[in-house]
């Protein structure tokens, strides 16, 4: 298992925000040390870009949401995370960061998950994964 708690740049410019180049180097430093990726699980806070795991309301420079009657959503995930998963093809990857984007996505052989959460409603979401050897037998999203 490899884990990374940093993310790409957010509108808030938080201490754990890195540029895409910095994020790629940081993840590469961790995952490149693994001996095998057949059973590997990556837990990377920010999801890969444009996979459905990363849909969020777009904010402007004043942190106001953009809208045309309805808020505009779009992909805000990381290109670096996409590139690393595509390169190493772990068995699965789990993500968070984008709370409103409950989703799964298959990137090559890798199943990627973002269970999401609805903190404003007090709802925590998760995903149960049933693994056997180097394959995923099943998964189930949970809510509570």
Sequence spans of domains, the chain: 2-143
Among residues 86, 92, 82, which one has the least CA distance to residue 48?
82
The pLDDT of residue 119: 75
Tens-level pLDDT at each residue, the chain (144 residues): 999 999 999 988 899 999 999 999 999 999 999 999 999 999 999 999 999 999 999 888 888 988 888 999 999 999 999 999 999 999 999 999 998 899 999 999 999 999 998 877 888 899 999 999 899 999 999 998
Q: How far is the C-alpha of 66 from the C-alpha of 86, rounded, in Å?
A: 31
Between the alpha carbon of residue 38 and those of residues 1, 5, 16, 127, the distances in Å are 11, 22, 29, 20
Q: How far is the C-alpha of 107 from the C-alpha of 117, rounded, in Å?
A: 22
The pLDDT of residue 68: 85
Among residues 89, 129, 84, which one has the least CA distance to residue 108?
89
Reported pTM: 0.94
The fold adopted by the segment(s) 2-143 is: Purple Acid Phosphatase; chain A, domain 2 (3.60.21)
The pLDDT of residue 26: 98
């Amino acid at each position: 298992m490899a884990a990374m708690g940093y993310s790409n740049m957010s509108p808030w410019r938080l201490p754990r925000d890195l540029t895409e180049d910095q994020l790629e180097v940081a993840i590469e430093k961790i995952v490149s040390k693994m001996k095998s990726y057949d059973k590997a699980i990556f837990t990377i806070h920010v999801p890969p870009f444009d996979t459905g795991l990363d849909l969020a309301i777009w904010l402007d420079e004043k942190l106001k949401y953009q809208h045309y009657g309805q808020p505009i959503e779009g992909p805000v995930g990381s290109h670096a995370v996409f590139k690393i998963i595509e390169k190493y093809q772990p068995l699965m990857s789990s993500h968070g960061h984008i709370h409103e984007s409950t989703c799964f996505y298959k990137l090559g052989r890798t199943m990627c998950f973002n269970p999401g959460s609805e903190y404003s409603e007090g709802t925590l979401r998760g995903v149960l994964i049933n693994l056997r050897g180097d394959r995923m037998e099943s998964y189930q999203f949970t809510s509570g």
